[in-house]
């Protein structure tokens, strides 16, 4: 009990001491806070006075700067005002000068008007005198001025036409004297030095057989063999009553050749069934591709042409199985190549380039690319694709004048193609179209005034036109041949060239009794 009382007494004493310490410390802190507040107030007053002084200094500085700017602006305004006054004075002086000049111009204008009126009166007097003179001339001549003018114009037209036609005739005669002999010599020598064969091909190939039993084997059970063969080759096989023969019909000569060779192997082997047919056709196609390449190489070697792209060589080989109007295309191209080389040699040009262009001029006919293009332009495109020379490409594209000629080889290829195609017997035409063309040429010539008769001769290579001597003069006859030639060239299609001869004959007949 005493211990508890002692403990409580100690704790109570400690508590009293702690409370006393806290009270004393608070009183000390309060005194220090008041000192700090007083010191802060003094410091704030000092800072306030400094800021006031700084603001006064800044105000004085800005006021001084503003006064200076106002003074400078007023000075500029005074300078501008003086400048405007000077300009105003100058403008007043200029206005006075303009008024003075305007008065002088008005005075000069009045003077010019007076002179113009005087000149107009004189012009009217001159016109009256000229009209009087014209009336007197008309009375003396017995015709009006308009009639005389018309007569003079007609006479001058006739004289000018006659002189122009005479000049044209002289120019043409001179050109013919200089060029005709040399051109004829070159063309004739070229034709004579080029020996070629004529080959006519059809769209049908005849395949010979030994007996009719083979026909049955080719047809097969229910026609399965012939259907397989037609499907594999793309050729129509006609088996009819023709003895010892079967017809192979197709527009593509390469397909017909594949079918012919395949049939030959099948008949010799004796085994004819669909699987064997497909095997043999594939083998024959491979052999024919090799043969086409070999034909192209052999053609290039024969003509002495080297360094040609292999694709162009294949196209040359395919020409063997193409024809143009019945003329074998490879034979035609070889012929054109030789003609071009001879003509280039005669003209002093490079014969190798001409021969190369002549051989390639029709490669567009055997290509399967871009069928919408004409064969000449397609051939030029292929030649450019396979890096041929630009002059050779231009010669290929221009040999039917479907593009502009930019090299000297181009007209040689054009002429060589015309010589080869126009040679009698080289190409085959349908008789109806041939007769229609000749009749059209005669009708075209007879449509001209003064023509009495017209005859197409030499298989359409020449047109003879007979005119009336009373209706057509010599000058008119000379110009008429050129007009007919131009119209035929513009409106008709024909191989080679057509010679137009106008004949004017005057006959005087008298009888002695």
CA distance 50 to 65: 23
Overall pTM > 0.85 = no
CA distance 459 to 426: 13
Residue 1's SS3 state is coil
CA dist list (Å): 216 to 118, 211, 223, 249, 262: 117, 10, 9, 19, 17
According to DSSP, residue 501 is labeled E
Residue 422's SS3 state is helix
Q: What is the 3-state secondary structure of 83-106?
A: HHHHHHHHHHHHHHHHHHHHHHHH
Cβ-contact 364, 375 below 8 angstroms: yes
Q: Tell me, what's the pLDDT at 178?
A: 67
Q: Tell me, what's the pLDDT at 197?
A: 46
CA distance 453 to 445: 8
Q: Tell me, what's the pLDDT at 495?
A: 62
Cβ-contact 362, 323 below 8 angstroms: no
60 C-beta neighbours (distance < 10 Å), count: 10
- β-pair type (323-324, 245-249): unpaired
Kindly list the averaged pLDDT for each block of 10 residues, start to end, along the chain of length 513: 70 78 73 77 83 85 87 88 87 86 86 87 85 74 68 73 74 68 61 47 66 74 78 76 74 77 80 81 84 87 86 86 75 88 87 89 79 81 87 87 84 84 55 71 87 80 84 82 86 76 78 72
- Which residues make beta-bridge pairs with 463? 456, 500
pLDDT in tens, 38-96: 788 888 888 888 888 888 888 888 888 888 898 888 888 888 888 888 888 888 888 88
Residue 454's SS3 state is strand
Concatenated DSSP letters of 223-271: GHHHHHHHHHH--EEE--S-TTEEEEE-S-HHHHHHHHHHHHHHHHH--
Q: Tell me, what's the pLDDT at 180?
A: 60
CA distance 80 to 76: 6
CA distance 297 to 234: 27
CA dist list (Å): 510 to 225, 345, 469, 504: 85, 58, 18, 20
CA distance 457 to 438: 9
CA distance 72 to 66: 10
Cβ-contact 327, 362 below 8 angstroms: no
175: exposed, middle or buried (Cβ count in 10 Å: 0-12, 13-18, 19+):
exposed
- β-pair type (451-457, 327-328): unpaired
- Which residues make beta-bridge pairs with 466? 453, 503
- Cβ-based neighbours of 410, under 8 Å, separated by 6 or more: 391, 394, 395, 398, 399
* Torsion (CA) 34, 39, 40, 43 in degrees, nearest 10: 170
CA distance 436 to 458: 15
Cβ-contact 250, 236 below 8 angstroms: yes
């Amino acid at each position: 009990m005493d211990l508890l009382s002692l403990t409580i007494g100690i704790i109570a004493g400690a508590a009293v001491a702690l409370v006393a310490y806290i009270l004393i410390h608070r009183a000390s802190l309060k005194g220090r806070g008041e000192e700090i507040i007083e010191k802060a107030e003094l410091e704030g007053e000092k800072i306030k006075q400094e800021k006031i002084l700084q603001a006064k200094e800044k105000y004085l500085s800005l006021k001084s700067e503003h006064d200076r700017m106002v003074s400078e602006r007023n000075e500029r305004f005074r300078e501008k005002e003086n400048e405007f006054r000077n300009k105003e004075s100058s403008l007043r002086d200029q206005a006075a000068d303009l008024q003075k000049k305007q008065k002088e111009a008005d005075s000069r204008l009045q003077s010019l008007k007076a002179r113009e009126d005087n000149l107009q009166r004189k012009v009217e007097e001159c016109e009256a005198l000229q009209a009087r003179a014209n009336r007197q001339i008309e009375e003396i001549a017995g015709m009006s001025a308009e009639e005389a003018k018309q007569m003079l114009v007609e006479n001058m037209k006739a004289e000018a036409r006659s002189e122009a036609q005479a000049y044209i005739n002289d120019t043409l005669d001179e050109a013919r004297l200089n060029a005709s002999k040399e051109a004829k010599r070159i063309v004739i020598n070229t034709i004579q030095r080029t020996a070629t064969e004529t080959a006519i091909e059809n769209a049908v190939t005849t395949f010979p057989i030994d007996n009719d039993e083979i026909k049955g084997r080719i047809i097969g059970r229910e026609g399965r063999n012939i259907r397989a063969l037609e499907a594999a080759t793309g050729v129509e096989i006609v088996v009819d009553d023709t003895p010892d023969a079967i017809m192979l019909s197709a527009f593509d000569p390469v397909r017909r050749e594949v079918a012919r060779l395949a049939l030959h192997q099948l008949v010799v082997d004796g085994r004819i069934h669909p699987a064997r047919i497909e095997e043999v056709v594939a083998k024959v196609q491979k052999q024919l591709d090799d043969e086409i390449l070999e034909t192209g190489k052999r053609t290039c070697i024969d003509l002495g042409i080297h360094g040609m792209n292999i694709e162009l060589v294949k196209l040359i080989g395919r020409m063997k199985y193409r024809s143009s109007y019945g003329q074998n295309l490879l034979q035609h191209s070889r012929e054109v190549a030789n003609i071009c080389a001879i003509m280039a040699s005669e003209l002093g040009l490079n014969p190798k380039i001409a021969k190369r262009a002549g051989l390639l001029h029709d490669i567009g006919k055997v290509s399967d690319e871009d069928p919408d293009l004409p064969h000449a332009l397609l051939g030029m495109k292929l030649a450019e694709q396979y890096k041929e020379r630009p002059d050779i490409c231009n010669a290929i594209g221009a040999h039917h004048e479907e593009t502009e000629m930019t090299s000297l080889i181009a007209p040689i290829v054009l002429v060589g193609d015309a010589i080869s195609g126009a040679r009698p017997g080289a190409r085959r035409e349908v008789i109806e179209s041939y007769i229609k063309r000749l009749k059209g040429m005669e009708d075209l010539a007879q449509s001209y005034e003064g023509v009495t008769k017209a005859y197409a001769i030499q298989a359409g290579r020449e047109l003879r036109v007979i005119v009336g001597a009373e209706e057509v003069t010599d000058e008119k006859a000379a110009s008429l041949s050129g007009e007919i030639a131009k119209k035929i060239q513009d409106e008709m299609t024909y191989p080679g060239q057509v010679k137009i001869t106008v004949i004017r004959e005057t006959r005087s007949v008298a009888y002695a009794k």
